[in-house]
Amino acid sequence: MLGSPSLLWLLAVTFSLAPRGQPLGPRDLKEEEKDETPQPPSSAVPCDYDRCRHLQMPCNELQRAGPTPCLCPGLSSPAQPPDPPRLGEVHVVAEVGSAVVHWCAPSSPVHQYWLLLREGDGAPQKGPPLNSTVRRAELKGLKPGGAYVVCVVAANGAGESSVPPAGGEDLEKVGGPALGPCRKLAVPPRPQTLVHVAIGVGAALVLLSCSALVWHFCLRERWGCPRQAASRPTAGL
């Protein structure tokens, strides 16, 4: 009998020390359900990267600078030479003998670009290196009325892109002027030259006309006019 009160006292002390759970209210139930709801993964959007944009920041730098993640276009392996760039618009300024060349980057890692200019069948002239953000360059010293071939070359640590060989197939058949790295370039004569040529041709025509008239009148003075001689009355009738 003495052990029963001790056992009851021990049980009372145990239940008094155990933490008491509080009942969950409606707000707690909603928060618990909200925490257990799976969140949809955020979908990444393409980066604001344009292969044809002049001074375009590299796409990997756009990924680091942007507030949200973005996707870059796929590139070939850096252990391979880059694909040929795509030469686009070429704007010729005949008055100053220059041309502005625009191109688009290939789907390859590129460290630098440069231009190749070939006049007729001569050797190509290599321009200065341009960094990987450049998409537009100016050619100077073009001769009025000259015919050229301009090519854009891309390079990385593995090598440089290919260009059609000189004297090979027609450039119109090698990828086309809007797809390949090269294009034929014809510089028209300067407008002042055309005016001078027109004035020279006009002056030559006037001089020839005056010479013909003078020659005609000189012949009439020397030999006379046959019609007037036939119409004169016969003397002594």
Q: Which ranges constitute the DSSP H helices of the chain?
A: 3-17, 26-36, 59-65, 191-223, 226-230
Show Cβ contacts of residue 75 under 8 Å, excluding neighbours closer than 6 positions: 107, 108, 109
CA nearest neighbour of 117 among 83, 143, 86: 143
Task: State the pLDDT at residue 39.
Answer: 47
CA distance 150 to 101: 9
Q: Tell me: domain 76-164+178-212, CATH 2.60.40.10, correct?
A: yes
With cut-offs at 50, 70 and 90, classify the pLDDT of residue 210. confident
CA nearest neighbour of 155 among 181, 137, 122: 181
With 60 as the cut, is the pLDDT of residue 93 above it?
Answer: yes
**Cα torsion for 65, 72, 110, 119, to the nearest 10°?**
-110
Of 24-28, 43-47, 53-57, 206-210, the range with the lowest mean pLDDT is 24-28
Q: Confirm whether pTM is higher than 0.75.
A: no
| In the chain, domain spans | 44-74, 76-164+178-212
**Cα torsion for 120, 126, 131, 132, to the nearest 10°?**
50
Query: Could you give the percent of the chain with pLDDT greater than 90?
Result: 45
Task: State the pLDDT at residue 209.
Answer: 76
Give residue for tokens 């004569």: 189
> pLDDT per residue over 123-163, tens digit each?
999 999 999 999 999 999 999 889 999 999 999 999 999 99
